[in-house]
Amino acid sequence: MNRVNRFHSAEQHGSSVCGVEAMTLLSNHQFPRHSHDQFGIGVMAFGAQRSWSSIGHVEASAGDVIMVNPGEMHDGYTQHGEKRGWRMLYLSPALFANAIEDEFSRTVDIVLPVVRDPVLVNHFSGLFSCVTDRNSDPIEREGRLVQILTYIARQHAMDEQRPRVFTPPCVAKAMERIDSAPQIPVSLAELAALSGISRFQLLRGFARETGATPHAYLVQRRIRLVRQLLTAGQTLSEAALQAGFADQSHMTRAFVRQFGISPGRYREAIA
């Protein structure tokens, strides 16, 4: 059996808009299940990707728009280790809400994970160019941002009446403990005791509700904390320590595995 050669190239672009991050990726890397604090929108340039989403498995190919909601679990992988290329914009939920507040009285945060929409592709290309050009005119950036997010809210929001997923209290307590202090070590036995169930019941329930094990969920929350610390100006070693990682190399491996870019390059891009 032929071994697939791993290829991964990711560029974190400088951004001219506060609350927006831009990335370009070329990779056959398999991303594990994870989530983001931001709303993500991107366009597949070539190749194809299969991913798990809140509505099941979906596939995206060249020309498709991919989107993900804040906190939504997802992964991403290719067939047979083939490369795919795509560009992404990650926007803070507050920025999204502010951009559409004149047109919508509610928060629109539920979108389809994959759509084929040439109009949306054009909107994305224009916004991506503006965001990655520090000399672009502020009024153009604002206009393109409002335009694309309003378009998404109107054309690609899922049924707003869909019932919210109810998280069982036992799992909710474990999630709350991890969310509140991801930097503090916690054992499976502690989480199970807090939830009032066995360790096996917690593992099964947690995976069913979140799509990840408690350990994977904990690592994700620590990586999110690292991003916040780096944005606040902390060094890599300081961020690793304050986020609860054993050392900087452990943090770096987890960061790359989840976001496809090293924390050092991420820090340089947002500086």
* Share of the chain residues as helix, strand and coil, in percent rounded to the nearest 5: 45, 20, 35
Same-domain check for residues 42 and 68: yes
Same-domain check for residues 70 and 200: no
Same-domain check for residues 67 and 149: yes
Same-domain check for residues 185 and 255: yes
Q: Please write the tens of the pLDDT for every residue from 168-178.
A: 888 899 999 99
Same-domain check for residues 145 and 174: no
Same-domain check for residues 129 and 43: yes
First CA to last CA distance, the chain: 44
Domain range for 94:
8-155
Burial class for 163, CB neighbours closer than 10 Å (0-12, 13-18, 19+): exposed
Same-domain check for residues 127 and 178: no
Is 131 in contact with 141 (CB distance < 8 Å)? yes
With 50 as the cut, is the pLDDT of residue 137 above it? yes
Residue at a domain's end among 132, 155, 178: 155
Q: Please write the tens of the pLDDT for every residue from 152-208.
A: 988 887 645 444 456 788 889 999 999 999 999 999 999 999 888 999 989 888 888
Provide the domain count of the chain: 2
Separation of alpha carbons 30 and 82, rounded Å: 11
Residue 3 included in any domain: no
- Binning pLDDT at 50, 70 and 90, where does residue 218 land? very high
Separation of alpha carbons 95 and 142, rounded Å: 11
Residue 161 included in any domain: no
User: What is each CA distance from 256 to 32, 205, 218, in whole angstroms?
Assistant: 11, 28, 16
- Binning pLDDT at 50, 70 and 90, where does residue 124 land? very high
Helices 263-270 and 236-243 sit at what angle, rounded to 10 degrees?
120
Residue 163 included in any domain: no
Beta carbons within 10 angstroms of residue 181's beta carbon: 13
Same-domain check for residues 144 and 256: no
Residue 162 included in any domain: no
